């Protein structure tokens, strides 16, 4: 492996982790570990998905989550409900309607509510896994002004959106570039996500940091799973599978 290859990092993550998605998450985790050569990826944990699947009440899944964390998988707080219950206007209304299916929970929250949910999620997940969480990633990567203000107080070190990764405390940008992800909720979105992943496999190898994010719904479509597999294989050839905390340790801000 060349020095240039060692300087490049692949950040992979599984979103929407919780009791309701356990079977799909296990399938994705097995794929990730096989392609990445170990547990060098992250899981984004939803404390109570849509208010129907509370992590706090599922002891068996808690044990599984703790085992993953002990094996070295990074754990992020991924909202609280993963459901957007705010009525939006203007640009936020466009984002809520076109960038997610009613799941941009932190797009319209005020600062106090956002901070409360962040802290509650952090406390619950850290109690379950027995160690600090890696940071916070909002559902659908959508943040309103209230959420951004809350992040500076929540003590959750690392944050990301569609285009960058940054340190929550001082706003220092650790990596830039689009995240490669897939969509399963409609044929059109599936087709466009497959096309983007194929383009990324050609266009992004020179990028220092590549991010790949899979969702439980991806396992429902063989074409998506095949694309995820191909994308992981492509980038492990040029990028070192890494954890988010490696950005601060080994890489200069980009």
Q: Is 167 helix (H, G, I), strand (E, B) or coil?
A: strand
CA proximity to 42, closest of 251, 243, 246: 243
- One-character DSSP codes across 229-241: HHHHHHHHTTSEE
Each residue's pLDDT expressed in tens, for the chain with a length of 254 residues: 333 445 799 999 999 999 999 999 999 999 999 999 999 999 999 999 988 999 999 999 999 999 999 999 999 999 999 875 655 454 444 344 444 455 679 998 999 999 999 999 999 999 999 999 999 999 999 999 999 999 999 999 999 999 999 999 889 999 999 999 999 988 999 999 999 999 999 999 889 999 999 999 999 999 999 999 999 999 999 999 999 999 975 444 33
Which CATH number applies to 3-249: 3.90.1300.10, 3.40.50.20, 3.20.20.70, 3.20.20.370?
3.20.20.370
Alpha carbons 85 and 105: distance in angstroms, whole number: 7
pTM (2 decimals)?
0.89
Domain ranges for the chain, please list them: 3-249
Q: Is 107 helix (H, G, I), strand (E, B) or coil?
A: coil
What one-character DSSP code corresponds to residue 17? E
CA proximity to 24, closest of 182, 158, 135: 182
Alpha carbons 47 and 78: distance in angstroms, whole number: 8
Which value, in Å, is the radius of gyration of the alpha carbons in the chain? 17
Q: Which residues pair with 32 in a beta bridge?
A: none
């Amino acid at each position: 492996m060349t020095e240039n290859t060692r300087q490049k990092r692949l950040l992979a993550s599984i979103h929407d982790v919780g009791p309701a998605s356990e079977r799909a998450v296990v399938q994705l985790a097995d794929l990730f570990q096989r392609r990445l050569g170990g547990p060098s990826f992250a899981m984004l944990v939803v404390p109570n998905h849509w208010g129907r699947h509370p992590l706090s009440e599922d002891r068996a899944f808690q044990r599984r989550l703790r085992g993953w964390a002990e094996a070295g998988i990074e754990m992020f707080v991924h909202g609280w409900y993963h459901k957007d219950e705010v009525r939006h206007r203007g640009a936020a209304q466009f984002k809520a309607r076109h960038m997610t299916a009613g799941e941009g929970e932190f797009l319209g929250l005020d600062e106090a509510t956002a901070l409360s949910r962040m802290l509650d999620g952090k406390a619950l997940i850290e109690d379950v896994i027995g160690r600090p969480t890696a940071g916070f990633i909002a559902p659908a990567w959508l943040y309103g002004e209230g959420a951004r203000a809350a992040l500076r107080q929540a003590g959750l070190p690392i944050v990301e959106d569609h285009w960058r990764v940054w340190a929550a405390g001082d706003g220092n940008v650790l990596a830039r570039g689009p995240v490669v992800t897939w969509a399963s909720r409609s044929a059109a979105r599936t087709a466009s996500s497959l096309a983007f992943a194929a383009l990324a496999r050609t266009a992004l190898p020179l990028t220092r940091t590549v991010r790949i994010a899979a969702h439980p719904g991806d396992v429902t479509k063989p074409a998506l799973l095949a694309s995820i597999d191909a994308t992981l294989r492509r980038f492990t050839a040029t990028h070192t599978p890494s954890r988010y905390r490696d950005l601060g340790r080994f890489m200069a801000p980009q």
